[in-house]
Amino acid sequence: MAVYDLILAGGGLASSLIAYRTAQLRPELKIVVAEKEETLGGNHTWCFHGTDVTSEQLDWLAPFVTSRWEEQQVRFPERRRSLSTPYLAATSDRLAEVMAETKVQTIRGTEAVALSPSSLTLADQTTLRGTVLDGRGAQRSDTITIAFQKFLGLEVRFEEPHGLTEPIIMDATVPQTDGYRFVYVLPFTNDTALIEDTYYADGETLPRETLRQGIEDYAVRQGWRIADVIREEEGVLPIVLEGDIDAYLGELQDAAPIGLRAALFHPVTGYSLPEAARLADLIAAEEDFSPENLRRVIERQVRERWRKHRYSRLLNRMLFRAAKPELRYIVLQRFYGLPQPLIERFYAGETTTGDRLRILAGKPPVPIHKAISALPPRRLEKDRQA
C-alpha cells in the first residue's frame, strides 16, 4: 500500500500551490496529487493584484505567472480610472508544466471516490494512506448563502493591434442586463486578448450564446475586428452574502478542505489564488503533518479569513439585496472613487476600521439598512460575531 506524508485530492489551483510550496520547503516529504482529469489545473486564467500577496509570495509564485501588467483600469458610466496596482495572470497550462518539473507525484485520470482524514481511495480501488486534504473544488451548503458571478471568456486574435496597454478589470459601460454586468479584458500581446462578459446575478444559468454575442458586440464597439478565437473559458463562481462558517466546517469531516471548498476565496470576486498562496505558505511551514494538526491550521485560517472578509460580504448584500439589479453598478462605481491603497487592501482582504467606515460613509448609493436587515436573524448574529 502506498504511504505518503501528504495526499491532495483534486489537482486544481489550491492543491497544486500547496504541493509545490511544500515540496519546495520540505523536500524530504512524500507528496501526491490525485486528479480525475488527465491534466492538472483545468482550463483557467487565474489573475490577481500584485498587492494581494506579499513580495515573498510573489517570488515563489513567479514560475506560474504568464503575464504581468503594471497598471489596470476600470470604466463605469460616470467614472474611468487607471490604478497603478500591478495585475498578474497565471494559466492552467503553465501550472501543469511547473508541477511536472517538481518531485510531487501525480495520479491523473482516476477519480477519488472515498476520502478520510488519513486515506484516499481511487475509482480503481487503490487506497493511498497519509494525511488527506480535500481540494476538489467548491462545495454547496445550506450554511452559506451565495449569489453568482458568471462569465464566459474568449481569447481572441484581432486583425490589427488593439491598442490596450493595461487590463480593463471592469468595463461597466455596457448595458446592465441580468444584474451587475461588466466586460473584463486582458491584453496578452498587442493583437490578442481574453475578453470576458461577466454578470453578478442571482441565478447560475450561463446563457453561453448571449455572452459570446456580448463579447462580439463589445469588440465591435471598441473598433476591434476578431480574426479568430484561440480558446474559450467559463465560470460560475460563488459570491458569498452571509453564512455560518462553523456550521459549514462542521459539515466537511471527510478530510480537511482547501481552496474554494474551504471557502478561501474573496467574497466579492470569487477569486482564490491569493488565499491559496497564503494557505500553501502556512501548511509548508508546519513541522507536524498529521491530519489533526493540518486540520487545526486550516480551520484557524478559514475562520480568520472569514472574519477579515465580513465587510466584503456586507458589500455583496448591498449589491444583491439593496440595489435594483440594473443599478448594482453604482455600488462599484462609488467604491472605485475611493483611494487606491484602500481598494488594494479591500482586494487583499486586509481592510482597516477606517477603510470600512469610508466604504460605508457619505451618501451610500443604496440604503445600508436594507443590506443589513435583509439577513435572517440567526445568520446576522453569526456574521456580526465573525
Ligand X SMILES: Cc1cc2nc3c(=O)[nH]c(=O)nc-3n(C[C@H](O)[C@H](O)[C@H](O)COP(=O)(O)OP(=O)(O)OC[C@H]3O[C@@H](n4cnc5c(N)ncnc54)[C@H](O)[C@@H]3O)c2cc1C
> Is there binding between residue 235 and ligand X (CB under 6 A)?
yes
The nearer residue to ligand X, 152 or 322, going by C-beta atoms, is 152
The nearer residue to ligand X, 34 or 366, going by C-beta atoms, is 34
Question: Measured from the CB of residue 103, what is the shortest distance to ligand X in angstroms?
Answer: 20
d(CA 282, CA 305): 13
Q: Across the chain, where does the E strand assignment appear?
A: 2-9, 31-35, 45-49, 65-69, 72-76, 79-83, 87-91, 105-108, 112-116, 119-122, 127-134, 144-158, 168-171, 180-189, 192-201, 226-243, 256-257
Q: Is 82 helix (H, G, I), strand (E, B) or coil?
A: strand
Question: Measured from the CB of residue 237, what is the shortest distance to ligand X in angstroms?
Answer: 5
Question: Measured from the CB of residue 253, what is the shortest distance to ligand X in angstroms?
Answer: 17
> Is there binding between residue 267 and ligand X (CB under 6 A)?
no
- How buried is residue 384: exposed, middle or buried, by Cβ count under 10 Å (0-12/13-18/19+)? exposed
Angle between helices 92-100 and 13-25 (to 10 degrees): 30
Question: Measured from the CB of residue 132, what is the shortest distance to ligand X in angstroms?
Answer: 11
d(CA 236, CA 216): 20
The nearer residue to ligand X, 191 or 234, going by C-beta atoms, is 234
Question: Measured from the CB of residue 133, what is the shortest distance to ligand X in angstroms?
Answer: 10
> Is there binding between residue 167 and ligand X (CB under 6 A)?
no
Please list every residue from 111 through 150 that binds ligand X, using CB under 6 A: 111-112, 135-137
The nearer residue to ligand X, 50 or 235, going by C-beta atoms, is 235
Question: Measured from the CB of residue 264, what is the shortest distance to ligand X in angstroms?
Answer: 8
Angle at 287 between CA 281 and CA 289, to 5 degrees: 85
Question: Measured from the CB of residue 362, what is the shortest distance to ligand X in angstroms?
Answer: 30
Binding mask 282-311 for ligand X (x = CB under 6 A): ------------------------------
> Is there binding between residue 18 and ligand X (CB under 6 A)?
no
Q: Which stretch binds ligand X (CB under 6 A): 19-27, 168-176, 270-278, 313-321?
A: 270-278
Please list every residue from 32 through 51 that binds ligand X, using CB under 6 A: 34-37, 42, 44-48
CA nearest neighbour of 173 among 130, 230, 214: 214
The correct pick among 271, 306, 311, 335 for binding ligand X (CB under 6 A) is 271
The correct pick among 8, 14, 219, 322 for binding ligand X (CB under 6 A) is 14
Whether the CB-CB separation of 199 and 329 falls below 8 Å is answered with no
Binding mask 329-348 for ligand X (x = CB under 6 A): --------------------
> Is there binding between residue 10 and ligand X (CB under 6 A)?
yes
The nearer residue to ligand X, 66 or 340, going by C-beta atoms, is 66
Q: 31-35 and 105-108 as β-strands: parallel, antiparallel, unpaired?
A: parallel
The nearer residue to ligand X, 172 or 322, going by C-beta atoms, is 172
**Cβ atoms within 10 Å, residue 248:** 19
**Which residue of the chain is nearest ligand X when measured via CB?**
12
Whether the CB-CB separation of 212 and 154 falls below 8 Å is answered with yes
Please list every residue from 61 through 120 that binds ligand X, using CB under 6 A: 111-112
Q: Is 234 helix (H, G, I), strand (E, B) or coil?
A: strand
What grid cell was written down for 359? 466604504
CA nearest neighbour of 7 among 117, 151, 169: 117
Question: Measured from the CB of residue 293, what is the shortest distance to ligand X in angstroms?
Answer: 21
The nearer residue to ligand X, 46 or 218, going by C-beta atoms, is 46
Q: Is 166 helix (H, G, I), strand (E, B) or coil?
A: coil
d(CA 125, CA 304): 37
> Is there binding between residue 20 and ligand X (CB under 6 A)?
no
Which residues, in sequence order, are bridge partners of residue 242? 145
Question: Measured from the CB of residue 34, what is the shortest distance to ligand X in angstroms?
Answer: 5
> Is there binding between residue 11 and ligand X (CB under 6 A)?
yes
> Is there binding between residue 12 and ligand X (CB under 6 A)?
yes
Place of cell 456550521: 247
Residue-wise over 123-134: b if at least 16 C-beta within 10 A, else e? eeeeebebbbbb
> Which residues of the chain form contacts with ligand X (CB under 6 A)?
9-15, 34-37, 42, 44-48, 111-112, 135-137, 233-235, 237, 259-261, 270-273
